[in-house]
């Protein structure tokens, strides 16, 4: 049985918090509120805190239970040896508590409603859903999150020697809310915001992700301010000098082997 908490927000540190806040405001449609030593950014379904500190570091990850009773029941199952001081921010529930994993990443468990910023056509919803950490010892971190905190292991990735190289853990019905990747050094890796459907993922894109038939390149396209298509692509075919001329039928699948195409004629 999953613990039932969902990711509420991450708090990242940065040597230039304003630049990072500006990035998320511009690209993730979030509004910035100064909040003491931190900046709190909110968008429809998503929240992020940023404050001064080293790059690529998590100050904490905050998980949220719907109600305080569930938080209290969960806390009673977490060994007190893992518990540390709650980070000094006033947006947690009074019953919130914090733990630290073996790499020193702090996890806060709190309770309350989700961020209620309304979605608009210009700023669509996307919920902060999972994040990933790099660690030099994935097995040690897996043991912490699974055995001390009760996260549920969904998948493990092993090398040919059977050594755990990555794993994916969940806290509710969604496949992973936390991913752990083996790497030379511990650091924050990424966070992900889940849109209601993959069609929403495509909204900022004019076309793609797809794979062209001619050229076999994977691509997506956005529109520049003048409406020109601007493409980003990868894996284009490498041609030998004597390559025969190819012939493709004029149909959508030729321009996109994976689905819809922009047919210019």
Which residues here bind Fe ion, judged by CB under 5 A?
Answer: 192
Q: How far apart are CA 96 and CA 166, in angstroms?
A: 29
Q: How far is the CB of 65 from Fe ion (least distance, A)?
A: 23
Q: Which residue number, 73 or 190, has a Cβ lying nearer to Fe ion? A: 190
Q: How far is the CB of 190 from Fe ion (least distance, A)?
A: 6
Q: How far is the CB of 122 from Fe ion (least distance, A)?
A: 25
- Please give the helix or strand (H or E) that residue 18 lies within, else none: helix 17-28
Task: Evaluate whether 106 touches 84 at the Cβ level (below 8 Å).
Answer: yes
Q: Which residue number, 128 or 213, has a Cβ lying nearer to Fe ion? A: 128
Q: Which residue number, 75 or 165, has a Cβ lying nearer to Fe ion? A: 165
List all residues 6 or more positions away from 208 whose beta carbon is below 8 Å from its beta carbon: 202, 219, 220, 221, 256
List all residues 6 or more positions away from 253 whose beta carbon is below 8 Å from its beta carbon: 213, 261
Q: How far apart are CA 142 and CA 227, in angstroms?
A: 47
Q: How far is the CB of 175 from Fe ion (least distance, A)?
A: 10
Q: How far is the CB of 132 from Fe ion (least distance, A)?
A: 6
Nearest CA-CA partner of 6 in 200, 156, 176:
176
Q: How far is the CB of 46 from Fe ion (least distance, A)?
A: 15
Q: Which residue number, 115 or 192, has a Cβ lying nearer to Fe ion? A: 192
Q: Which residue number, 110 or 129, has a Cβ lying nearer to Fe ion? A: 129
List all residues 6 or more positions away from 46 whose beta carbon is below 8 Å from its beta carbon: 9, 28, 30, 115, 126, 127, 128, 193
* Locus of tokens 């894996």: 235
> Whose CB is nearest to Fe ion?
192
Q: How far apart are CA 114 and CA 177, in angstroms?
A: 16
Q: Which residue number, 82 or 192, has a Cβ lying nearer to Fe ion? A: 192
Q: At CA 194, angle to CA 203 and CA 115, rounded to 5?
A: 110
């Amino acid at each position: 049985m999953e613990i039932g908490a969902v990711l509420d927000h991450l708090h990242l540190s940065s040597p230039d918090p304003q630049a990072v806040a500006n990035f998320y405001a511009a690209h993730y449609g979030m509004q910035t509120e100064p909040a003491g030593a931190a900046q709190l950014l909110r968008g429809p379904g998503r929240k992020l805190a940023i404050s001064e500190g080293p790059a690529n570091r998590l100050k904490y990850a905050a998980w949220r239970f719907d109600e305080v009773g569930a938080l209290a029941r969960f806390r009673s199952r977490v060994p007190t040896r893992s518990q540390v001081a709650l980070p000094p921010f006033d947006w947690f529930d009074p019953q919130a508590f914090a733990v630290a994993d073996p790499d020193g990443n702090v996890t806060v468990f709190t309770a309350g409603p989700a961020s209620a910023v309304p979605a608009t056509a210009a700023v669509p919803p996307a919920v902060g859903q999972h994040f990933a950490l790099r660690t030099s010892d994935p097995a040690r971190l897996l043991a912490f999150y699974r055995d001390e905190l009760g996260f549920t292991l969904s998948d493990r990735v092993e090398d040919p020697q059977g050594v755990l190289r990555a794993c994916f853990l969940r806290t509710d019905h969604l496949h992973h809310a936390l991913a752990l990747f083996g790497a030379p050094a511990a650091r924050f890796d990424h966070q992900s915001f889940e849109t209601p459907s993959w069609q929403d993922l495509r909204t900022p894109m004019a076309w793609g992700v797809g794979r062209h038939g001619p050229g076999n390149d994977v691509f997506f396209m956005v529109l520049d301010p003048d409406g020109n298509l601007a493409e980003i692509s990868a894996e284009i075919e490498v041609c030998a000098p004597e390559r025969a001329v190819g012939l493709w039928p004029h149909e959508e699948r030729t321009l996109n082997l994976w689905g819809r195409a922009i047919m210019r004629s």
